[in-house]
Amino acid sequence: MEGLTTVLNLLNSNIQLGRLSTGCTGLDQLLKGGLEYGKITELYGEAGVGKTCFILDLAVRLAAGDCNTVILETEGKLSTPRLKQIIDNFSSDTSTSSSDSLLDRIWIRKCRSQQELISSIYLLPIFIKNKGNVKAIFVDSIAFLFRYTEDKEDQFSNPG
């Protein structure tokens, strides 16, 4: 896949790709302007504090800038009605595109197993090449599918 930028290449480079404002002045100041494009940022916290809503808000901000966003969702907590509500609120607060056009720029893939998540990650370069202008990929949550198996055994324990 010639000409394709890999995550490793981005991590090893010192190029400045810009920053995405979080929409919160104080947080943007702490982050020196927002989240860095081309970098991996982990957002963590207790359940129910708004991590998923934060991701949805960032996706809407990107969509409003005519950018595509990919969300790989593993926990089954992402609410389409909540996403539409954030889009409607954002659209009414700004003179931006219609709600439908914003929604068209946010690509959500539900991954219900480790295999689905890993397969989706492997397919991202092809998806990005075909769609173009993908500015962010969010995984909500990357650890969820890898915590424990159904019988609560450690995923990486030696069976023998």
Q: What is the pLDDT of residue 40?
A: 82
Rounded CA separation 2/69 (Å):
23
Examine the pLDDT at 49 and tell me if it is beyond 60: yes
Q: What is the pLDDT of residue 160?
A: 43
- For the chain, the structural domain boundaries read 1-41, 49-143
Q: What average pLDDT does the segment 127-134 reach?
A: 89
Examine the pLDDT at 123 and tell me if it is beyond 90: yes
Residues 72-120: pLDDT tens digits? Answer: 999 888 888 889 888 988 877 666 556 778 889 999 999 999 999 999 9
Q: Assign domain 49-143 to its CATH superfamily.
A: P-loop containing nucleotide triphosphate hydrolases (3.40.50.300)
Examine the pLDDT at 133 and tell me if it is beyond 70: yes
**106-110 and 134-140 strand pairing:** unpaired
Spell out the residues 6+ positions from residue 53 whose beta carbon is closer than 8 angstroms to its own: 82, 86
